[in-house]
């Protein structure tokens, strides 16, 4: 599989828009999820660890999952994540992990996965009963957030009601949406939601 983020990984953390978005999503997770020091967390689509860096001090362990080796290499170069984060470079839709978690978090990764329902179902399978999810992504948009020729983008954001139905169908309850951040780009505003929910 071609790593679509090989070049982007080097400059990723320096991008002001990405930094602001990641800081806001991390703050929203800290506000809405009761983290504790026994928690085992999956960071799905972990990238360079911008969300993991904010959450790691509050939990026991983070397993950073991504299909981009370049992004995960960048993550592991960060000293503050060395002993807290384990990296796994694989597609969990095709090859699930043999492990269950107390929380699965994700920021701006869902729109890179074609089958949303299957992804949410896979999240459910990787969670203990009563475990939590915290998923951030774009609200439904007109397709102008990403450049037209970009590869690996399957969704122009998500409709909150439709996503709520998918979550309910996968056995999640106490579903709550908040707007974690708004990206101003090319003269338009793109809200970023954080949805939290509990596995039944």
pLDDT of residue 28: 97
Q: Region of 131 please: left (phi>0), alpha (psi -120 to 50) or beta.
A: beta
Cα–Cα distance for residue pair 169/161, rounded to 1 Å: 12
Q: Give the pLDDT of the chain (200 residues) as one tens digit per residue.
A: 455 555 566 677 778 888 999 999 999 999 999 999 999 999 999 999 999 999 999 999 999 999 999 999 999 999 989 889 999 999 999 999 999 999 999 999 999 999 999 999 999 999 999 999 999 999 999 988 988 778 888 999 999 999 999 999 999 999 999 999 999 988 899 999 999 999 99
Domains annotated for the chain, with CATH where assigned, are 8-142+153-199 (3.40.50.150)
The Cα angle at residue 94 between residues 169 and 101, in degrees rounded to 5: 60
């Amino acid at each position: 599989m071609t790593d679509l983020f090989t070049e982007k990984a080097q400059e990723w953390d320096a991008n002001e828009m990405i930094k602001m978005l990641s800081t806001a999503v991390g703050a929203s997770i800290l506000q809405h999820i009761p983290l504790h020091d026994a928690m085992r967390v999956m960071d799905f689509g972990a990238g360079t660890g911008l969300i993991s860096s904010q959450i790691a001090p509050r939990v026991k362990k983070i397993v950073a999952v991504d299909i981009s080796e370049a992004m995960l290499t960048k993550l592991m170069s960060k000293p503050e994540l060395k002993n807290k984060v384990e990296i796994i470079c694989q597609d969990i839709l095709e090859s699930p992990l043999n492990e269950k978690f107390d929380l699965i978090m994700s920021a701006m990764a869902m729109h890179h996965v074609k089958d949303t329902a299957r992804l949410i179902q896979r999240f459910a399978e990787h969670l203990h009963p009563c475990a939590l999810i915290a998923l951030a992504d774009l609200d439904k948009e007109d397709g102008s957030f990403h450049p037209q020729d970009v590869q690996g983008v399957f969704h122009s954001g998500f409709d909150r009601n439709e996503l709520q139905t998918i979550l309910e169908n996968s056995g999640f309850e106490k579903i709550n949406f908040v707007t974690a951040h708004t990206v101003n780009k090319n003269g338009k505003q793109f809200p970023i939601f954080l949805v939290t929910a509990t596995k039944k």
